[in-house]
Structure 1
């Protein structure tokens, strides 16, 4: 009698996996499951922050560069990990063009200037246009802003000149510009400072071109050269004629330089030091950087909109 040998049916279990096949299947399963797992406290890596390029004017005064570097050190301390670089429009190294040439990726140019003068509206856009390898934007200048008024107030207090401390008026000195918008920025800053000083009169005034040049001849080489009025000396005469016997001077100057020195020399009383690394100024630099990132562009009228950034 012949006994039939059973044949495997179609539903029989597959042959055992080899060691290599089993390892591959386990790896694939783990990869699939890990995609759905979110570890407690884990955050995916963020893209690198755009480089903050602080743009200083530059000065032959040997005290200027250390003062600007001290300001940027304070900015770095407030925002650890943020890449911060320095570029000068003229007179000091590194020049802005060289700084931009060394960068890659995204950058925000933050002018260490206090109004919408020629450097902000022409020189900085031209510098970005000459660096097509960068994706860049330009932040608003440092003034006007309440943080700037805070820094100016702080320097006046350090100098011993403020409301109730022996001053009856303050001159707010600035480099000045041929641009009408720049003068309006200075006037707004003067009003903000006056409010911080409890309503003490604050009169904007401007540096005078050096005797070696005239505004007409110098304008072709330096379109930003001041033509604003009054000068500090003229403001002093006006305030004195109005009966103000004690006049202090505050300056919209980041660092020591020719204009800051000229304005201080024309002051009849206490002259506050340049703003330098005042904490409020460092916070303002970061605010302008953040504001530029939150707006469509950093240099147009929309950049003045209030930004939801802690300052």
Structure 2
């Protein structure tokens, strides 16, 4: 029996850098597991759409798909958009079994990817004690997502940074520039901004704009080795339910 196809579901963006980053991440996943069929579908803006990918797979005789949301938290897209798209596809394609994997975060691999980007931007382990860190996320009004970001900030703080504070590019305050100023005012020798986002786009650009007065701006998580490994980890975690015949396409 062929292993289930891994369908990575990305949000999509008018910014071409978004799709290019998703493609690079998927290529890295394929390089790790060359025998695994890995497809990409987008919710909006980019092609192919999730329904079109599922229709093609069904037409090719695929029986099992693990749909993995390329999301860091369980917010609106994870709880509403993606379940709705998958339910509709499942109803139209009854021979295709679809199981929805968990979102990517939280995970130690994401923290490792975030630290990788900070080291690549020029920081060193020894700099942590004197560096205030802005954990800059896209932002959400979902309480679960907000709680996850707060917990990640606490974990980073316990890892030895001078101070760690969240900032948001939308939906919530404070913004990145506000947190940069507050960390500097509180006596941190330097301030670094760590975008807790996967791919470039409008909101990451807003984070970068707010980081102009920071000493260090890390890159987005992108096609990091840790993120690629995490996709495969979520795929493996989803396999038992699908193997047992329990299809989960609802929230």
Is TM (by shorter chain) over 0.5? yes
Cα distance in 2 between the residues matched to 1:297 and 1:198: 43
Q: For the Cα contact (< 8 Å) 1:51–1:83, is it kept in 2?
A: yes
TM-score (structure 1 length as normaliser): 0.70
Deviation, 1:173, is: 1.1
Q: For the Cα contact (< 8 Å) 1:168–1:246, is it kept in 2?
A: yes
Q: 2:138 maps to what in 1?
A: 175
Check 1:50–1:248 CA distance in 2 against 1; reply closer, same or farther (3 A cut): same
Match of 1:125 among 59, 83, 88: 83
Deviation, 1:161, is: 2.5
Cα distance in 2 between the residues matched to 1:126 and 1:297: 14
Q: For the Cα contact (< 8 Å) 2:74–2:144, is it kept in 1?
A: yes
Match of 2:156 among 187, 190, 193: 193
Question: Which of 1 and 2 has higher RCO (CA within 8 Å, sep 6+)?
Answer: 2
Higher Cα Rg, which structure: 1
Q: 1:217 maps to what in 2?
A: none
* Aligned Cα root-mean-square deviation (Å): 2.1
Cα distance in 2 between the residues matched to 1:165 and 1:207: 26
Cα distance in 2 between the residues matched to 1:236 and 1:199: 14
Residue 282 (structure 1) aligned with residue 228 (structure 2): yes
Residue 237 (structure 1) aligned with residue 164 (structure 2): no
Cα distance in 1 between the residues matched to 2:151 and 2:43: 25
Deviation, 1:145, is: 0.5
Q: For the Cα contact (< 8 Å) 2:154–2:164, is it kept in 1?
A: yes
Q: For the Cα contact (< 8 Å) 2:43–2:49, is it kept in 1?
A: yes
Check 1:297–1:280 CA distance in 2 against 1; reply closer, same or farther (3 A cut): farther
Cα distance in 2 between the residues matched to 1:190 and 1:299: 31
Tell me the alpha carbon deviations over residues 237-277 of structure 1, each in whole angstroms, 9 at most, x when there is no partner. 33233222411111122111111111012112211111111
Deviation, 1:163, is: 4.2
Check 1:52–1:88 CA distance in 2 against 1; reply closer, same or farther (3 A cut): same
Check 1:204–1:81 CA distance in 2 against 1; reply closer, same or farther (3 A cut): same
**Which 4+ residue blocks in structure 1 deviate beyond 6 angstroms?**
296-301
Q: 1:55 maps to what in 2?
A: 9
Q: 1:114 maps to what in 2?
A: 72
Q: 1:261 maps to what in 2?
A: 205
TM-score (structure 2 length as normaliser): 0.86
Q: How many residues align?
A: 236
Cα distance in 2 between the residues matched to 1:164 and 1:292: 38
Between stretches 235-244 and 83-92, larger displacement belongs to 235-244
Tell me the alpha carbon deviations over residues 27-78 of structure 1, each in whole angstroms, 9 at most, x when there is no partner. xxxxxxxxxxxxxxxxxxxx11111111111122222222111111110111
Cα distance in 1 between the residues matched to 2:229 and 2:111: 12
Aligned-partner SS, 1:101: helix
Aligned-partner SS, 2:165: strand
Residue pairs, 1:1-311, within 5 angstroms: 47-104=1-58, 105-132=63-90, 133=93, 134-165=96-127, 168-195=131-158, 197-208=159-170, 227-267=171-211, 268-295=214-241
Aligned-partner SS, 1:131: helix
Deviation, 1:181, is: 0.4
Any gaps of 5 or more consecutive residues in structure 1? 1-46, 209-226, 302-311
Cα distance in 2 between the residues matched to 1:62 and 1:290: 30
